[in-house]
Structure 1
Amino acid sequence: MNTDNTYTSYTDFLKDKKFIQWQLMPNENLDIYWQSFIGHHAEHKKNIQKAITYLKKIGLNESDLSENERTVLLEKIQRTIRQEKKIKQRKLFWYTSASAAAIALIIIGITLFYPSSVSIDIPDKELITGELLNNEDIQLITSGEAIIFKNDVEVTLNEEGTAEIVQANNETSKVKIDRDKLNSLVIPYGKRSTLTLADGSRVWLNSGSVLEFPAQFSGKKREIRLASGEMYIEVAHNKEKPFYVQTGDFNVKVYGTKFNISTYSGSPQSVVLVEGSVSLQSKDHKELFITPSEKAVYSGSGTFDTQKVDVNQFISWKDGYLSFDKTPMTEVLQQIGRYYNLSFDFENDINLQKRTCTGKIYLSDNLDNVMTIISLLSSTSYQRTENKILITNELS
């Protein structure tokens, strides 16, 4: 909570979650708090009123929503809260979910866009079904054995060929790593982990990834293999030993750098360079160099298409949120599905591909928080019953 001397402008109040909650979802306690604040700090009254005016007249107007759609959005937030009080047993929406969603919509600037040439009148019968998949265990495979971990892990290799493993509950253990063969770290959907290699390079592994690596780097080069999934890596500089990442279709040669590789099945394979320099090479094709803030997408025929991008949209997952810029909602759900081990069926979709999302979705441990934000973004509603999620159209 901000202290009174930290409010130097009306924009400081717009950064205060408690203030925004008071404006969007007021209750008796919040009214008492802010009336008392104003009574004790009259010098802030003008900026408070300016912030209130901004929220009412400007905050939601920066989106492409019509006046009617903005009204529906705010009514939906408040209706969700009223329903939660009356039908708690259904557990479809929680007060905290609606609160988090409303605050996210203002502070983060999540915006719903409709293409001007597309009608948003969608038949009510269309829906998306999602299913929570069974969580599998993280596996560290070494010496022909699989060591199982229930939670996300941080694995650190040392020069003695031992891996120190810290689990999410801070439980620590040590495992002897095979020096003669490649070892594997298998991350199922719904889990994530980090790995510090023997040379000090650090790897973040996203859900659904398999990385093969040695206990130590011997010889004149350092090599690892991303068998599937997605990784972000910060490579330790060693001019004498170049670093290589192998994938099934191409290899990446590293010249001291930070970059992201995505090789999910069913999605375009890509490399996004954050810092430094890398080159890409596929079979029978020349080496291709890319520069920072450049994305290279593998074409499938051995060539790459390159373009300048905002790298944060491709690496934010490692910091616990997803960043979008006019991203199709179907792609948003695909990323959410990977992160939370969900399977969405788009066979009877609600034309979400015609809508895009700009902003950030924080990857809360509470899936309902995230699904509530998505339903607000897409003008849909969702219902979660055990391991099933139904997303339906709210517009008629």
Structure 2
Amino acid sequence: MSEKSQKLIIQFLTKQASFVELEALSIWLENPKNEKEFKSYIKLNYAIDFNMKQFDTARSKKELQEFMSQELRIRPLRKIRKLSKYAALLIIFLGIGYLYQSNYFSTAPEFIIPPDSITLQLENGDIKVIHEDGSSDVQDAQGRVVGAQNGTQLVYSSSHSKEELVFNTLTVPYGKRFELQLSDGTKVYLNSGTSLKYPVKFIDGEMRQVYLEGEAFFDVTTNKKARFVVNATNLNVEVFGTTFNVSAYPEDSSTDVVLVEGSVALYNENKTSKEGVTIVPGTKGSFIKQQNDITTEKVDTKLYTQWMVGGLVFRNSNFEAISKKLERHYNVKIVNSNLELSKEVFNASFKEESIDIILNYFKNSSNLEYEIKENTIYIK
């Protein structure tokens, strides 16, 4: 199913579809193959199974007629034929229990968030889906515009005034990346499977603190009066103005900080920056979770920032760790039955190759056997 078709279905189910989009969906559903794909998509992603025996045809037709009556009051007459066609298609194709049982025509719809969506959680708890091919304003609880999204970038304004910290949370699913500019001009590049909580507006003169789960590259705006701290669960990364990469996935054994420019201090939650470890450019600082200790080593920083351009780099990585990165990068699930392979160590670099090319590399280098079924890779 194409991404465009999936988007139409999602907008229909979340009751966000425009009249034009409803018409496009009705035309698409005229193809029996598309009807079958529609049913499979709904069942797979929303755990809704269709049952014609439970469908109340009479009541659904009544609901549809009421819906049509409301629409015809505000739609031009030339739309009547199209609307009737759409209603007929709903009865034929979608009249299988879902519309009536889910109360589709209710004035208080339940919002369904697609699992592969980039989301923005606002200060009041509302969640907004970010469409990568769209643009929109970000508003606070009072309806004031505090930022704007354009494509894969979200930029917050520094012009509005805030007397207290108000946080937004941006979440990027597996298989996607996103860019964020904070109110002080700091740029953050979020990798797949990442969530960042940050203030809508930093308070002048006070510490600038954000909360990271996942991986992100920071280009921090210099402000000697307000230190910048990245809280990565049990590790704090403190800077004044610099560029660095933080990898803090909860399932990984360590939280890694790679410094490109400037200077940063690393310290755990029970210490201060003065008690922490300061690293210089070209250094990777790693907080080993099990040992509650910080180690450092010289590295080639380019190897740790290739993900920003779609690349993947593995250095002395066992296949178990590699599998986790592949799952995030390509939004797939990997089931590995080869226990010996899990501990095998590899060194490899890939640019924007497909998952098939990467799997073939491991197949040729370690006799790996695999099978792909839908979105799952089975390794034997």
- TM-score relative to the length of structure 2: 0.59
Task: Report the secondary structure of 1:380's partner residue.
Answer: coil
Q: 1:188 offset after TM fit, Å?
A: 1.8
Q: 1:148 offset after TM fit, Å?
A: 0.5
Instruction: Judge conservation of contact 2:155–2:181 (CA < 8 Å) in 1.
Output: no
Alignment of 1:1-396 (within 5 A): 135-144=115-124, 145-151=126-132, 162-167=146-151, 180-267=165-252, 268-285=254-271, 286-300=275-289, 302-358=292-348, 360-364=349-353, 366-392=354-380
Task: Report the secondary structure of 1:371's partner residue.
Answer: helix
Task: Report the secondary structure of 1:318's partner residue.
Answer: helix
Compared with structure 1, are the counterparts of its residues 155 and 261 closer, same or farther at alpha carbon in structure 2 (3 Å cutoff)? farther
Q: Distance in 1 between matches of 2:194 and 2:360?
A: 27
Q: 1:194 offset after TM fit, Å?
A: 0.9
Instruction: Judge conservation of contact 1:135–1:190 (CA < 8 Å) in 2.
Output: no
- TM-score relative to the length of structure 1: 0.56
Q: Distance in 1 between matches of 2:301 and 2:327?
A: 21
Instruction: Judge conservation of contact 2:134–2:151 (CA < 8 Å) in 1.
Output: yes
Q: 1:152 offset after TM fit, Å?
A: 8.2
Q: 1:343 offset after TM fit, Å?
A: 2.6
Q: Distance in 2 between matches of 1:281 and 1:239?
A: 20
Task: Report the secondary structure of 2:185's partner residue.
Answer: coil
Q: Distance in 2 between matches of 1:383 and 1:234?
A: 40
Task: Report the secondary structure of 2:259's partner residue.
Answer: strand
- Structure 2's unaligned 5+ residue stretches are 1-113
Q: 1:234 offset after TM fit, Å?
A: 0.8
Residue 98 of structure 1: aligned partner: none
Q: Distance in 1 between matches of 2:366 and 2:134?
A: 34
Q: 1:303 offset after TM fit, Å?
A: 3.1
- The size of the alignment, in residue pairs, is 254
Higher relative contact order (CA 8 A, sep 6+): 1
Compared with structure 1, are the counterparts of its residues 277 and 214 closer, same or farther at alpha carbon in structure 2 (3 Å cutoff)? same
Code of the residue aligned with 2:330 in structure 1: it is Y
Over residues 221-280 of structure 1, what are the superposed CA-to-partner deviations in whole Å (9 max), with x where a residue is unaligned? 342323411111011122232212122212211031111111111211121111100112
Instruction: Judge conservation of contact 1:220–1:240 (CA < 8 Å) in 2.
Output: yes
Q: 1:340 offset after TM fit, Å?
A: 1.4
Code of the residue aligned with 2:127 in structure 1: it is A
Q: Distance in 2 between matches of 1:192 and 1:388?
A: 21
Compared with structure 1, are the counterparts of its residues 153 and 313 closer, same or farther at alpha carbon in structure 2 (3 Å cutoff)? farther
- Aligned identity (percent) is 27
Q: Distance in 2 between matches of 1:154 and 1:204?
A: 18
Instruction: Judge conservation of contact 1:138–1:152 (CA < 8 Å) in 2.
Output: no
Over residues 289-329 of structure 1, what are the superposed CA-to-partner deviations in whole Å (9 max), with x where a residue is unaligned? 11111111113354311111222222211121012334333
Over residues 67-125 of structure 1, what are the superposed CA-to-partner deviations in whole Å (9 max), with x where a residue is unaligned? xxxxxxxxxxxxxxxxxxxxxxxxxxxxxxxxxxxxxxxxxxxxxxxxxxxxxxxxxxx
- Structure 1's unaligned 5+ residue stretches are 1-133
Q: Distance in 2 between matches of 1:178 and 1:140?
A: 21
Residue 123 of structure 1: aligned partner: none
Instruction: Judge conservation of contact 1:211–1:224 (CA < 8 Å) in 2.
Output: no
Task: Report the secondary structure of 1:136's partner residue.
Answer: coil
Over residues 158-188 of structure 1, what are the superposed CA-to-partner deviations in whole Å (9 max), with x where a residue is unaligned? 9x853221225x9x99999995511110112
Q: Distance in 1 between matches of 2:334 and 2:377?
A: 9
